[in-house]
Structure 1
Amino acid sequence: MTTSEILNKVATGQLSTSEATKLLDNNQTASLGFANVDLSRQQRNGVPEVIYGAGKTSDQIVMIVKALSRQTLPILTTRLTSKKFAELKDDIPNAIYHEKARCMTVGKIAKSKTNDYIAVITAGTSDQPIAEEAAITAETFGNNVKRIYDVGVAGIHRLFSKLDIIREAKVVIVIAGMEGALASVVGGLVSVPVIAVPTSIGYGTNFQGMTALLTMLNSCASGITVVNIDNGFGAAYSASLINKIR
């Protein structure tokens, strides 16, 4: 039960204050020994705790999902390998694996009640795994998403053919490796917030995304916010908060 449901039951006499106190305590965290799962994050932040799959065993992920599912659905797990998903899928039969995004969702994803959307743009095809992480994250949080892939500056006419779609978005996520120039180009063409994601795609002096990161941080286009290298999840989280401002 949510906190509001518990309090309503106290108000109508269906629960005693001692019973409600116990339930509210249980609503805050779930101690699993190896993890202390935050069950009240959605009430505080509007978005439930998200599971970072890298570094966790399949059994640990199953236990965390089951703890979270008492409070909220859908549940998102990021950075999950297909091998690890194969190990846990029988224990979570309603789980869906999004292979390119390396994400797992559990529970039905509610559709947005508005026509507002987040545009997710990539410079190259190789940036798509990070873009899909961003897109799946945004969709799990209840946003409409439009994907615009492989429109980098090496063939900038591809970007211009999609400009109407990009300009109508409420937030734009730009994902680019190599030199990361696409964020500056898009930032100079739109009147909405742009969240730039540098990727580790590129040859030697890309330095695993450092070159793209520095380019984006030093952009002369105003209104660009930059997240960490390969952090599609972080970009989508912020974009979702912006998209839901009314």
Structure 2
Amino acid sequence: MRELLEAVADGDLSPAEAEAELRGYVVGEAGRFDAARRQRRGIPEAIFAEGKSAEQVVALAETALETTGRALLTRLSEPQFDALRDHFAATAPDATLERRSATARVLAPDYEPPSLDATVGIATGGTVDEAVADEAETVLLDAGVTVDRVDDIGVAALSRTLDQLDRLRGADVLIVVAGREGALPTVVAGLVDTPVIGVPVASGYGYGGDGEAALAGMLQSCTVLSVVNVDAGFVAGAQATLIARAIAAGRD
């Protein structure tokens, strides 16, 4: 306790960083940020932007950057991303802002990213699945995992899937993202000896077109795979990260 107080008095530690050390979270105007989640859970807290104002998103990202050196944001709208970009361009021009679809990371200049000796493969059925895959990929990259991604290998032309079989089999963990009837994860899981996480996507039309058919198909798969909720790219990326961490630990 005394060391923390002295560090704050000397200017080596901000009050927010000290609060994060003591409580494990920081209380700000936009809510509580769980700064200790990576240490406790192995996965950092992400800022879910949907339903928040641009000001709230910026405030939470600023807290994350101050206390952990990085901020991970999901489901960003264009106005929210614009506010984020403009804010850090003015207040932290040396910070790095990365974006994949509706997912983004902000990295402090002195942030040292982690590294895991594991590879997670990501496969998508078609172009419409890519935004959900981007969310999963950002989580994995934030954890220091090597990502091997292959897009547009849906089963409508099975040769596209089989052409990538060697790459799929080479991964330690696989995330397979598919909409419509959601057949791709089932097919892939029947061809590899790797843990497969299926991610149903809300694409298609008519009955079951909101991802329900894809979710039901994956849940009823006759091959062994895990399934997350519709469009849950973050959850898939986080689950794959935990598996990758266990694999990397076994290699040490």
TM-score (norm 1): 0.85
**Pick from 168, 176, 181: which aligns with 2:178?**
176
- Higher mean displacement: 201-210 or 177-186: 201-210
Determine helix, strand or coil for the equivalent of 1:205: coil
Q: Aligned-pair distance for 1:151?
A: 0.6
CA contact (8 A) 2:20 2:67 kept: no
Following the alignment from structure 2 to structure 1, what is the Cα–Cα distance between the partners of residues 82 and 164? 38
Q: Aligned-pair distance for 1:109?
A: 7.1
Match of 1:49 in 2: 45
Following the alignment from structure 1 to structure 2, what is the Cα–Cα distance between the partners of residues 38 and 96? 21
CA contact (8 A) 1:122 1:131 kept: yes
Counterparts in 2 of 1:135-174, with a 5 A limit? 135-174=137-176
Q: Aligned-pair distance for 1:69?
A: 2.0
How many residues get paired?
Answer: 229
**Pick from 17, 31, 34: which aligns with 1:35?**
31
**Pick from 77, 82, 89: which aligns with 1:81?**
77
| Structure 2 letter corresponding to 1:172 | L
Match of 2:236 in 1: 235
Q: Aligned-pair distance for 1:26?
A: 4.3
Match of 1:18 in 2: none
Determine helix, strand or coil for the equivalent of 2:105: strand
CA contact (8 A) 1:82 1:99 kept: no
Identify if the C-alpha distance between structure 1 residues 199 and 32 changes in structure 2 by more than 3 Å, giving closer, same or farther.
same
| Structure 2 letter corresponding to 1:74 | R
| Structure 2 letter corresponding to 1:207 | G
Following the alignment from structure 1 to structure 2, what is the Cα–Cα distance between the partners of residues 70 and 88? 15
Deviations 1:96-126 (A, max 9, x none): 24242x1110115736352x21111011111
- Higher mean displacement: 229-238 or 204-213: 204-213
Counterparts in 2 of 1:116-135, with a 5 A limit? 116-135=118-137
Q: Aligned-pair distance for 1:219?
A: 0.3
TM-score (norm 2): 0.83
CA contact (8 A) 2:183 2:218 kept: yes
Match of 1:19 in 2: none
**Pick from 106, 110, 113: which aligns with 2:113?**
110
- Higher mean displacement: 104-113 or 165-174: 104-113
Following the alignment from structure 2 to structure 1, what is the Cα–Cα distance between the partners of residues 120 and 234? 13
Following the alignment from structure 1 to structure 2, what is the Cα–Cα distance between the partners of residues 35 and 211? 36
Following the alignment from structure 1 to structure 2, what is the Cα–Cα distance between the partners of residues 140 and 26? 20
Following the alignment from structure 1 to structure 2, what is the Cα–Cα distance between the partners of residues 196 and 121? 10
Q: Aligned-pair distance for 1:154?
A: 0.8
Following the alignment from structure 1 to structure 2, what is the Cα–Cα distance between the partners of residues 79 and 64? 14
Following the alignment from structure 2 to structure 1, what is the Cα–Cα distance between the partners of residues 61 and 192? 39
Identity %: 35
- Higher mean displacement: 70-79 or 90-99: 90-99
- Higher mean displacement: 40-49 or 178-187: 40-49
Identify if the C-alpha distance between structure 1 residues 218 and 91 changes in structure 2 by more than 3 Å, giving closer, same or farther.
same
Show structure 2 runs of 5+ residues with no match: 8-14, 90-94
Deviations 1:175-226 (A, max 9, x none): 111111111101101111100000001121233000000000000002x000
| Structure 1 letter corresponding to 2:193 | S
Q: Aligned-pair distance for 1:72?
A: 1.2
4+ aligned runs moved over 4 Å, structure 1: 22-26
Following the alignment from structure 1 to structure 2, what is the Cα–Cα distance between the partners of residues 58 and 97? 17
CA contact (8 A) 1:121 1:173 kept: yes
Q: Aligned-pair distance for 1:150?
A: 0.7
**Pick from 186, 189, 202: which aligns with 1:187?**
189
Following the alignment from structure 1 to structure 2, what is the Cα–Cα distance between the partners of residues 98 and 242? 25
Following the alignment from structure 2 to structure 1, what is the Cα–Cα distance between the partners of residues 214 and 26? 40
